[in-house]
Amino acid sequence: DGGITQSPKYLFRKEGQNVTLSCEQNLNHDAMYWYRQDPGQGLRLIYYSQIVNDFQKGDIAEGYSVSREKKESFPLTVTSAQKNPTAFYLCASRGGGLATSDTQYFGPGTRLTVL
Amino acid sequence: DAKTTQPTSMDCAEGRAANLPCNHSTISGNEYVYWYRQIHSQGPQYIIHGLKNNETNEMASLIITEDRKSSTLILPHATLRDTAVYYCIVSSGGSNYKLTFGKGTLLTVNP
């Protein structure tokens, strides 16, 4: 089944702990993205990567880190420096390299709750 | 990227057409109009996109005005499963391609 997988669907962590969210895609897409969504709000871009071994900060990168060692994988680490980490995290990917009008496809999301 | 304005919520009767408006008066010539929807607690789903011409696919139709300052997403025969938040986004793509999601329109399809 082709697509984007995020695991786990629900994640609980204690305050002060780092946590890594998984995102894998088998669509052979070059670009991958991480968004955060808070209740009743739209999505906000955390980080994105256009190609392997390269990534850029989005609008709310503070307290987060990413890596892009493989084309298929773009894990997001929520560090203890992120002041309000409880949120719904969405990963997306896009094909076509730097081409315009390419569509982003989203994974099912991970709901992170920090206790 | 240009900003969009959408109504906060809309209602539609099951089986009828749902027409969701979007204003994007500051859109520039190279920006596309995208529509996504998000069912509660799921990832957004791509619906359709367009540049100048009207577009249609198996899910919906997109009507873009001639001056490109507004558009309408049409779901021709709404079902209860179409209840979702619908996002209208404009983006130029290119090397800094990213989508900026607003709060969207909550469409409620009623039986």
Residue A1 has pLDDT above 60, yes or no: no
> Which residues of A lie inside 8 Å of B (Cβ-Cβ)?
4, 31, 33, 35, 40-45, 48, 50, 58, 88, 90, 92, 94, 98-109, 111
Is any Cβ of chain A less than 8 angstroms from the Cβ of B45? yes
Query: Using the beta-carbon criterion (under 8 Å), do B103 and A58 form an inter-chain contact?
Result: no
Residue A98 has pLDDT above 50, yes or no: no
Query: Using the beta-carbon criterion (under 8 Å), do A50 and B95 form an inter-chain contact?
Result: yes
- A51-71 pLDDT, tens digit per residue, is 999 999 999 999 999 999 999
- pLDDT band, residue A115 (cuts 50/70/90): confident
- B81-91 pLDDT, tens digit per residue, is 999 999 999 98
A-to-B residue pairs, Cβ atoms closer than 8 angstroms: 60
- pLDDT band, residue B1 (cuts 50/70/90): low
* Per-residue pLDDT at B2: 62
Q: What angle do CA B61, B62, B65 make, to 5 degrees?
A: 140
**In whole angstroms, how far apart are CA A89 and each of A46, A57, B78, B92?**
10, 16, 29, 24
pLDDT averaged over every residue in chain A: 90
* Candidates A43, A51, A54, partner chain B, best to mutate (most B CBs within 10 A): A43
Return left, alpha or beta for A32; rule: phi > 0 is left, psi -120 to 50 is alpha, else beta.
beta
3-class secondary structure, B81:
helix
* Pair of tokens at residue A68: 């892009």
* Per-residue pLDDT at A99: 46
At position A82, the amino acid (one-letter code) is: Q
Query: What is the arithmetic mean of pLDDT over A31-43?
Result: 91
- Say what percent of chain A tops pLDDT 70: 92
